[in-house]
Amino acid sequence: TVTFVGIDQDDYLRKVALVTLVAAVPVGSWWLTGKWWKLPLLLALPLMLYRLWTTRGDAEKMAQASASCDPRHVATSPAQRSELRAFVCSACGYTLFPALGREAAFFTEAFRCPACEAPKEDFLDVRSSA
């Protein structure tokens, strides 16, 4: 593989191709059928039925099959679950549940409450031990 400034080019090209394909499906559907949703529906319906078949309709199994998150940020043990944080905006009550170890990514200097624009200082850690 070719790398450029620490980025794997094959992976980058694969992602660009995927985004292009995802964007091309509704555009192609509009061009072929006059409706943007017909081809995506034809593609999504069999995938949805397959997922229902493989999980036998069990909601927990479907959630596991649908999970597309980085396992490094998932709490799997009771000790990790006890470390999870919840931050509540004292102005409006908006609650933020950042992934394990990702609190600093959310609370940057420019962070504001998405609901009421309150500054980050207005957020309280409701699961802190103190």
In order of 39, 40, 42, 52, 97, the CA distances from 46 in angstroms are 12, 11, 7, 10, 33
The torsion of the CA quartet 29, 33, 34, 36, rounded to 10 degrees, works out to: -30
For residue 14, what are its two tokens? 């694969």
Which two structure tokens, joined as six digits, stand for 108?
A: 């940057």
**Residue 68, pLDDT score:** 63
Q: For residue 112, what is the DSSP state? A: B
CA distance 85 to 103: 8
In this prediction the pTM is 0.42
Instruction: For the chain, give the percent of residues with pLDDT over 70.
Output: 80
DSSP output for 43-65: HHHHHHHHHHHHHTT-HHHHHHH
Q: Determine the pLDDT at residue 54.
A: 82
Mean of all residue pLDDT scores within the chain: 79
Q: How high is the pLDDT of residue 71?
A: 67
Q: What are the pLDDT digits (tens) for 30-69?
A: 888 888 888 888 888 888 888 888 888 777 777 776 666 6
Confidence of residue 90 (pLDDT cuts 50, 70, 90): very high
- What is the rounded average pLDDT of the residues 12-41? 85
More confident residue, 65 or 121: 121
**Environment class of residue 123 by beta-carbon count within 10 Å: exposed (0-12), middle (13-18) or buried (19+)?**
buried
Q: Is a pLDDT exceeding 60 seen at residue 130?
A: no
- 96-112 pLDDT tens trace: 888 767 778 888 888 89
Length reported for the chain: 130
The pLDDT value given to residue 72: 67
Residue 118 has pLDDT above 80, yes or no: yes
Distance CA 130, CA 128 (A): 6
